[in-house]
Amino acid sequence: MSKILIIEDDPEIALLEKDYLEINGFAAEVIGDGTQALAALQERGYDLILLDLMLPGQNGYDICRQISETIDVPILMVTARTESADKIRGLGLGADDYIAKPFDPAELVARVKSHLSRYDRLTGSVRRGQNGEISIGDLTILPKSWKAYKGKAEIKFPNREFALLLFLAENPNIVFSKEQLFEKIWGFDYVGDSATVTVHIGRLREKIEDNPQNPQIIETVWGAGYRLNL
C-alpha cells in the first residue's frame, strides 16, 4: 500500500485529501507544519507528498527545496496560488506537478495514481537493467545504476531529471517537442503548460553544461523543441 504524506495546515482540506486517498486504497498521514514534516521524512518513508504552499513557519517552497535535495519522492503542490510565476518557481525547486485549489478530489486521486505509476516505471526500468554507459564529452551516464558523472564528480539528480536526461541521451540528435517530452517522462497527456519541461531542461543544463547560458549538450531548436547532441 502506497503511503502519502499530506503537508497541509487547513484541517478541512487535509481531511478531504486524506479521506479520498484512503477510500482509494492509499495510506495517508497529515502533518500541518513544514518543520515537523521534514522531521517525519527523516524517520519514515513515503511514496508521494502533497504539499501546500502557505504553511506556518517555513513556507512550501522552502520545504519543497529541502525535500528534493535529500529524497527522491514525487511532490505535488496543492495550492490556491495559480500564477505562472508560482508554478515555475515550484517546479524549479523540485515539484513534479501543481494542483490548484479548489480541486476535484477525483482529479487529485487520479494525479496521485499517475505519478506513483510513472515513478515506479522510471525506477523499475533501471532495475531491469538498461546496460551500457553513455559518454558525452566529460559527462558519463550510467543507466543501470541511475547515476551520472561530470569528470569524476557525481551529479545528483531527482528521478524526473535523470529520466529526462537518459531519454534524450538514448535518443541523440533527435528533436523532441515539449509536448512529446512531457508525455514521455511524466506519463500523462500534455495539458498546455510547457513550464514543467522548460524548468527541468534548465536544471539539467545547470548541472551538465560547462556554460548553461550557451548550452552545447542539450540544444534548443527554436520553434521545435530540444535535442541532445552526441
- 195-220 pLDDT tens trace: 788 999 999 999 999 999 999 999 99
- 64-113 pLDDT tens trace: 988 887 777 889 998 887 777 877 888 888 888 888 888 898 999 998 99
**Long-range pairs of 98-101 with CB within 8 A, sequence gap ≥ 24:** 101/13
- HEC string of 65-108 equals HHHHHHCCCCEEEEECCCCHHHHHHHHHCCCCEEEECCCCHHHH
Pairing of strands 3-7, 225-228: unpaired
Q: Determine the distance from the C-alpha atom of residue 223 to the mean position of all C-alpha atoms in its chain, rounded to a whole number.
A: 25
**Domains located in the chain, CATH noted:** 3-124 (3.40.50.2300), 131-228 (1.10.10.10)
Q: Would you call 156 helix, strand, or coil by DSSP?
A: coil
- 159-192 pLDDT tens trace: 889 999 999 998 888 999 998 898 888 776 545 4
Query: Percent of the chain having pLDDT more than 70?
Result: 92
Q: Is the peptide bond before 74 cis (omega within 30 degrees of 0)?
A: no
